[in-house]
Amino acid sequence: MRKWSGRGLLYPLVFLLAALLWLAPLWREPAGFAFWRPAAFTDLLVSHFPNAELVRRSISTWGEIPLWNPTILSGAPFAADPLAGLFYPPFWLGILLPAGLGFNLIFLLHLAWAGWGASWLAGREGIGRAGRLTAGLLFAGTPKLIGHIGLGHLTFVAAIAWTPWILLLAGEAATAAREGSRGWIQRSAAAGAAWGLAFLADPRWLIPSGLAAGLYAIWGLLRDRLPARRETARAAGAAGAAAVFAAGIAAALALPLAEFASLSTRALLTDADRMAMQLPALRLVGVFVPEPGGWPEWLTYTGIVTLGLAAGALFAWRRSMRFWLLIAAIAWALALGDQTPAYAAFEAIVPGAGLLRVPARFLILAALALAMLAAHGMDGLVSSHAARRLPRELFGPLGLALATLAAVLVASSAGTLQPGLLGAGALAAVAGIWALLAHWRARRFLAPGLILIAVVDLMWMGFSLLEVRDDGAALSEREAVAEEVAGGADGERSFSPSYSIPQQTAAIQGLELADGVNPLQLRGYVAAMGQATGFNSPAYSVTLPPFPAEGPRGEWEPQLDLGRLGLLSVGLIVSDFPLVSEGLESAGVVDGVHIYRNPQVLHRAWVQREGGEPRGEWAPVRSWEWSPNRIVVEAEGPGLLVFSEVVYPGWRAEIDGERGTLESAYGVLRAVQLPEGRHAVVLEYRPWRVGAGIAISLLTVIGLAVLWIRR
């Protein structure tokens, strides 16, 4: 890899300190939880904290890492769930450290990693020190990325942080392959490994990051001249090596995830589902006009100084800037979804693109492109030797300052002036004036001044997006309700049509929920719950049940089938609004939340003496031992031993030490046929895909190490 002066640990330290600035709202409560200010929920509490709590409890109680998640949706594969983060090592900080401290440290380190990677990427393009610093600061502090922290998108932010590194390594691999340099295979393997790590962090970022890296490698390959046949062959070999190592690193998650996704509602995404969060075309105005506190998925603003420097770079029109202008244009077009023909073509060409659900997330690539353009603009400003003549790069900040001030005056006269535009106008004016004066009078302060204004701009937006909430309050939401349910559950599950027991509180109390929030839900289970609770929603939903438009506490008149809920061992039903169902028994009201008892609840396992409904002749099991990955019972046959556990590939049955046949009962539960007499039955979750994936990933890591050691 080409080297540039990074002064040892100075650059990573600078970007670590910068990350502390982007997360400044968390200074007051380092162990608190970051929220997008208007939000009532964050994925940190809904998903990541409960997952970390499950791993902690499983290791301390049963001495095993859970491969199955029994806490929500009556059970689902855990090792196959991208939100579990079992195979991405940095996520274990959230398991090992208390409350929100581990998650905040993960965010901090990945913001620093993103900034450092962008600075290396700028250095590869020959940009000087000030430009490299500019690229790293502007990308890591871009408001959309900070907004995703507020939404609790831990996995997404981690995957994004790898983007500049993937491009950097892909570009180096393509250049080395073309030039026939020694080590081109090693560089290709490193590029693939970085891409694979991004997949382990969040598979949803695989396609956008791969698209950008592929285009970057092709651009470098074709930039000066068409490659010769031998050079093309080496480049193809480099691409193949990168793909092999990416697949190898990703295998630990990719193999089980492929099975899970094929059985989930994600495989049934409609066009409307995929485009539900595309960027409205008018929101592109936000590139120039900030929206403090705006919804992070639709934030397009990257900073007024970013735009000014990027515009200045376009005035100078260096050849390498064409690529970043192309990436920005592609990202904006794809973010618009089906409002342009670009997304349809993208889905037709790129395998797996139809599984992506939020086109607006391509805006992250636009943010990286603008940061790189701004780095070129800064480099041109500080490297200009014309003391009296204005460098072309200066026309960008000056022109943007004048245009923004004109927009402020027009909006003010029309009575439509908004705080975002006013703030942008003030910052643009300060940046433009500073750039002009510093160029003439104090050129050594030109870059520090513009960088300081950019940092103020980004911190202002960050403060408008983020707030910290005390970990004690966040983890005790509806605590009295959860304690009441835990006291009366007796090993049964609970169900809430109104998300009345938050998942983080349920995890602390050790409750198991029949409802839940997760992007991946088993189709068979969703169908069974639809019949049991009366919802009928053909649209994809991350919640079960699908909540009405007014939110989870909105009444949607559930039609409860207590018998079907009883099959799922749902003994307690908890609701923010009163429920009416024949046979439902009131168990009181706690903090305004209604608690009901289901008299038709069944045990977690029973022996059905005859075929048909379990309301006939049935008997409970004699003993029950349970852990997330293993269930051991003693039961009396003959009959069908039914477990109130979701059936899924990878579960194996043993009867008296001999391999048994696992069946499906009622379309969703596990069952085993028992012969006459008393039997010891063991159900164990041993998915071969998880073992094979881990083995492949470990072998790939060893292969990568051997390649670099031999080099």
Question: pLDDT by residue (tens digit) across 365-384?
Answer: 999 999 999 999 999 888 87
In a domain, 677, yes or no: yes
DSSP string, 288-320: TS--TT--GGG-----HHHHHHHHHHHHHT-TT
- Residue linked to tokens 């009405």: 548
- Residue linked to tokens 């492109």: 369
Same domain, yes or no: 533 and 680: no
Domain finish residue from 564, 597, 630: 597
Beta strands at 543-544 and 570-575: parallel, antiparallel or unpaired: unpaired
In a domain, 492, yes or no: yes
Give the CA count within 13 Å in the CB-facing half-sphere of 625: 11
CA 427 → CA 400, 404, 458, distances in Å?
11, 10, 11
User: Which three-class secondary structure state does DSSP give residue 576?
Assistant: coil
Can you give the pLDDT at residue 177?
85
Asked if 670 and 649 count as a contact pair (C-beta separation under 8 A), the reply is no
Query: Tell me, what DSSP letter sits at residue 675?
Result: E
Per 3-state DSSP, the chain is made up of helix, strand and coil in percentages (nearest 5) of 55, 15, 30
DSSP string, 591-623: TTEEEEE-TT---SEEEESSSS-TTSSEEE-SE
Asked if 235 and 177 count as a contact pair (C-beta separation under 8 A), the reply is yes
Same domain, yes or no: 399 and 542: no
Domain finish residue from 532, 566, 597: 597
Same domain, yes or no: 560 and 621: no
Same domain, yes or no: 589 and 610: no
Can you give the pLDDT at residue 224?
65
CA 334 → CA 217, 219, 287, 357, distances in Å?
20, 20, 15, 12
**Could you give the CA distance from residue 115 to residue 137 in angstroms, rounded to a whole number?**
6
Domain finish residue from 432, 466, 500: 466
Asked if 492 and 603 count as a contact pair (C-beta separation under 8 A), the reply is no
Same domain, yes or no: 255 and 312: yes
What's the CA angle centered on 157, arms 155 and 161, to 5 degrees?
115
In a domain, 568, yes or no: yes
In a domain, 703, yes or no: no
Residues 6+ apart with CB under 8 A from 702: none
Same domain, yes or no: 661 and 545: no
**Could you give the CA distance from residue 574 to residue 557 in angstroms, rounded to a whole number?**
14
**Could you give the CA distance from residue 250 to residue 198 in angstroms, rounded to a whole number?**
9
Same domain, yes or no: 586 and 620: no
**Could you give the CA distance from residue 697 to residue 681 in angstroms, rounded to a whole number?**
33
Quick one: tokens of 113?
């990693």
In a domain, 385, yes or no: yes
Range of the domain at 610: 605-690
- Which residues of the chain are under the pLDDT cut of 70? 1-8, 224-226, 385-389, 537-538, 610-616, 711
CA 137 → CA 182, 249, 449, distances in Å?
33, 29, 14
- Residue 516 φ/ψ region, left for φ over 0, alpha for ψ in the -120 to 50 degree band, beta for the rest: left
Span 151-205, pLDDT tens digits: 999 999 999 999 999 999 999 998 888 887 778 889 999 999 999 999 999 999 9
Asked if 227 and 235 count as a contact pair (C-beta separation under 8 A), the reply is yes
For residue 99, the one-letter residue type is: A
Can you give the pLDDT at residue 388?
58
Same domain, yes or no: 353 and 218: yes
Beta strands at 658-660 and 623-627: parallel, antiparallel or unpaired: unpaired
Same domain, yes or no: 454 and 336: yes
Same domain, yes or no: 446 and 536: no
Can you give the pLDDT at residue 615?
56
Among residues 666, 355, 670, the alpha carbon closest in space to that of 529 is found at: 666
In a domain, 179, yes or no: yes
pTM for this model (two decimals): 0.94
Burial readout 56-80 (b: 16 or more C-beta within 10 A, e: otherwise): ebbeeeeeeebbbbbbbbbbbbbbb
Among residues 654, 655, 641, the alpha carbon closest in space to that of 605 is found at: 641
User: Which three-class secondary structure state does DSSP give residue 141?
Assistant: coil
Same domain, yes or no: 446 and 492: no
Can you give the pLDDT at residue 228?
73
Span 24-64, pLDDT tens digits: 999 989 999 999 999 999 999 999 999 999 999 999 999 99
Question: DSSP alpha helices (H): ranges in 476-538?
Answer: 479-489, 503-509, 523-533
Same domain, yes or no: 172 and 318: yes
**Could you give the CA distance from residue 568 to residue 606 in angstroms, rounded to a whole number?**
12
CA 615 remoteness from chain centre = 44
In a domain, 2, yes or no: no
Question: How many domains does the chain fold into?
Answer: 3
In a domain, 148, yes or no: yes
